[in-house]
A and B are shown apart, each in its own frame.
Chain A
Amino acid sequence: MTDAIAVHDLTKYYADLLAVDHIDFQVEQGEVFGFLGPNGAGKTTTQRMLTTLLEPTEGRIVIDGRDMAEDPVPIKRRMGLVPEESNVYTELTAWENLMFTARLYLVAPSERGVRARDLLERFGLWEKRDVKVEGFSKGMRRRLSIAMAIIHHPALLFLDEPTPGLDAQSTRTIRDLIRELNARGTTIFLTTHQIEEANQLCDRVAIINHGKIAAIDTPEQLKAAFRRVQSVEVALEPDGQAHGEALRALTGVTHSVKMGDKWRLYTERPSGLLPEIVDYARARDLEVVSLNTLGPSLEDVFLEITGQEIGAVRHEAGESTGSGRGPRGKKGGRR
């Protein structure tokens, strides 16, 4: 079967700045493909090239077997785009926004109203259909923006950071919709820096760093490739917060991160560390409230590959520092 997206040697320079560095990857039909990377890694630049908004400096983009450089119009007809900012027309009502998009994407006149109503009901906006969008909350605008992107039933949907800053209900609605669209055969290209979101939704993820693809694989395969990022999570009482330095000094601990009322101790040998923790607690008459071994999360893998310190993003305040790590990881190959 033809790939939904095939990218060959894709490169983008902004003047002398190399934003995307000769990347290659493929996305299968019907796949949810996550595109992860830290800020400035080249995620949005890549997505803008894939959606024709930005001209590549070098390389080829083939969508559904058609070369984007030839005639992008038939390709664009099969695409939907949800950009990071909800670019809805605030002077128009929700209904008018949908009708405008339906006309722009040449949805048959007899279908427009039916689809618009379905989407507004699906996203909980039907009651607000005649209200100008300037009065909408961020979550409502986001839902409307997604509805506008799918009113023409695209075979390939690009979503750029679809959920950050949204309330739990809107986030859940959007994630459910992504699963539902994918179940109906829509290929999803999800650009995100929310690792857990990618872990939950994606069949495969690509991690881009400094404009290069650092890894491509399924979330589980990526985690398996980083077994060294295992950890033990322990909660001690009383006064469990005070033992961070001492726990970090236990044999085999590479570094520790405070996780709320617990400490996460990173190690390559969790089985060897468990008795040491128990001995430590017993010697000081501490109660072990909880003790868990954890495999690497996708976030750990992401941080390893992008060279950021584990815990640097989530727990800066409470971290007991480990040594900095350079970029590592396997070079992305196909599937």
Chain B
Amino acid sequence: MNQGIVRRIIDEVSQAWTVAVKDMRVYYLKPGMIMFGLMMPFFMFFSFSVRREMAAAQGVARLLALTTFFTAASTGPFVIPLERRLGTYDRLLAAPMSLFSLLLGKIAVGAFFAIAVSVVALVVGVTVFGATVSSPGFLMAGVIIGSFSFSTLGLIFGSIPTRNPGDVQMPSTLLRWGLLFISGVFVPLTEMGGVARALAYVSPLTYAQDLMNYAVLDAGLLNPWLDVIVLLVGCAVFLVPSLLMHRRSRQLGY
């Protein structure tokens, strides 16, 4: 490969990492991140799990799907509009890096946050509630790939041309809640009717939940490799609207 291209790729990855590290330092302790990224998945979990008979492992599988999904998808809609409002996003857009690398850095922030929260949830599940993990490899793949996929999904909302995080929170929350109820998190796929199940297969969360079920409970409905592939494809597919909306933002002046 051309040496110049290799150098450019190394530079861009380094810049994406720089953006991610900066965001982690600046935004992880912001109230919006704590509320939507940290507390919300646990609230959701306890709201729908208390008073229901459930094995510890079943709870851990559900909680991991919730943390990867909610935590990862909450970062983009919070951070980017806030940065636009503060004017700091211009600093990033004016920096000598491609838009792809900038977005990669933003995706990494949500993904790392979700991975960290999921690891804590897993450790508590295993050590306190005695849950066991059936397939650690698929569990790791599910948490990591799921986190990146959902962070990319959240980035779509962060890319909406606006400087007001409030404009973005409403549609992104609606989508997240909607997906939650059609993705086999609270109602297993096997108990869903035909239409509901067809809808479930459209949701990326279905594949994350199924992968967690397989990895923790050894009870996945789909082939775990199919789950992995769908989540990987999701990373690429969800990035497209973000790139297009950033281009639109550049035309509109956001």
Q: Give chain A's interface residues, CB within 8 Å of chain B.
A: 14, 45, 48, 51-55, 73-74, 76-77, 79, 81, 83, 85, 87-89, 91-92, 96, 100-101, 103-106, 148
Q: Which residue of A lies closest to B247 (CB)?
A: A55
Secondary structure of the B contact surface, majority rule = helix
How many A-B residue contacts, CB cutoff 8 Å?
70
Complex alpha-carbon distance, A79 and B87, angstroms: 18
By a CB distance below 8 angstroms, the chain A residues around B11 are 106
By a CB distance below 8 angstroms, the chain A residues around B128 are none
**B18 touching A73 by the CB < 8 A rule?**
no
Minimum C-beta distance from B250 to chain A (A):
5
Which of B22, B86, B96, B247 meets A100, CB within 8 Å?
B22
**A77 touching B22 by the CB < 8 A rule?**
no
**A45 touching B18 by the CB < 8 A rule?**
no
Which of A79, A81, A106 meets B15, CB within 8 Å?
A106
Q: Answer whether residue B121 sits at the interface, using C-beta atoms and an 8 A cutoff.
A: no
By a CB distance below 8 angstroms, the chain B residues around A45 are 253
As a 0/1 sequence over residues 1 to 21 of chain B, the CB contacts with chain A under 8 angstroms (1 = contact) are 000000010010011001100
Q: Answer whether residue B93 sits at the interface, using C-beta atoms and an 8 A cutoff.
A: yes
**A74 touching B94 by the CB < 8 A rule?**
no
Nearest 5 A-B pairs (CB), nearest first?
Answer: A87-B87, A77-B96, A76-B96, A103-B18, A55-B250
Complex alpha-carbon distance, A88 and B88, angstroms: 7
Complex alpha-carbon distance, A77 and B15, angstroms: 12
Complex alpha-carbon distance, A96 and B95, angstroms: 17
Which of B19, B88, B94, B252 meets A76, CB within 8 Å?
B94
Q: Answer whether residue B91 sits at the interface, using C-beta atoms and an 8 A cutoff.
A: yes
**B94 touching A53 by the CB < 8 A rule?**
yes
Which of B22, B95, B253 meets A89, CB within 8 Å?
B22
By a CB distance below 8 angstroms, the chain A residues around B87 are 83, 85, 87
**A104 touching B18 by the CB < 8 A rule?**
yes
Complex alpha-carbon distance, A154 and B126, angstroms: 53
By a CB distance below 8 angstroms, the chain B residues around A104 are 15, 18-19, 92, 95-97
Size range of the chain B interface in the assembly:
20 to 34
**A14 touching B252 by the CB < 8 A rule?**
yes
By a CB distance below 8 angstroms, the chain B residues around A89 are 22, 26, 88
**A91 touching B26 by the CB < 8 A rule?**
yes
By a CB distance below 8 angstroms, the chain B residues around A55 are 247, 250-251
Which of A54, A92, A100, A106 meets B250, CB within 8 Å?
A54
Q: List 12 A-B contacts (CB under 8 A).
A: A14-B252, A54-B250, A73-B96, A87-B87, A87-B90, A87-B91, A88-B88, A101-B91, A103-B14, A103-B15, A106-B11, A106-B96
Minimum C-beta distance from B65 to chain A (A):
31
Q: Which residue of A lies closest to B19 (CB)?
A: A104
Complex alpha-carbon distance, A73 and B14, angstroms: 15
**B26 touching A92 by the CB < 8 A rule?**
yes
**A105 touching B96 by the CB < 8 A rule?**
yes
**B86 touching A87 by the CB < 8 A rule?**
yes
Known: A45-B253, A87-B87. A52 touches B22 (CB 8 A): no
Complex alpha-carbon distance, A83 and B94, angstroms: 11
By a CB distance below 8 angstroms, the chain A residues around B96 are 73-74, 76-77, 104-106
Q: Answer whether residue B25 sits at the interface, using C-beta atoms and an 8 A cutoff.
A: yes
Q: Answer whether residue B223 sits at the interface, using C-beta atoms and an 8 A cutoff.
A: no
**B90 touching A73 by the CB < 8 A rule?**
no
**A91 touching B25 by the CB < 8 A rule?**
yes
Minimum C-beta distance from B186 to chain A (A):
37
Complex alpha-carbon distance, A104 and B86, angstroms: 19
Q: Answer whether residue B49 sits at the interface, using C-beta atoms and an 8 A cutoff.
A: no
Q: Which residue of A lies closest to B26 (CB)?
A: A91
Q: Which residue of A lies closest to B23 (CB)?
A: A89
Q: Which residue of B lies closest to A71 (CB)?
A: B98
**A92 touching B252 by the CB < 8 A rule?**
no
Q: Which of A45, A53, A92 is the most central at the interface, judged by chain B CB atoms within 10 Å of its CB?
A: A53
Q: Which residue of A lies closest to B97 (CB)?
A: A73
By a CB distance below 8 angstroms, the chain A residues around B252 are 14
As a 0/1 sequence over residues 36 to 64 of chain B, the CB contacts with chain A under 8 angstroms (1 = contact) are 00000000000000000000000000000
**A52 touching B97 by the CB < 8 A rule?**
no
Minimum C-beta distance from A29 to chain B (A):
20
By a CB distance below 8 angstroms, the chain A residues around B19 are 104
**Additional A-B contact list (12), CB under 8 Å, known A48-B253, A104-B96:** A52-B93, A52-B94, A73-B96, A73-B97, A76-B95, A77-B96, A81-B91, A87-B90, A92-B25, A103-B18, A104-B92, A106-B15
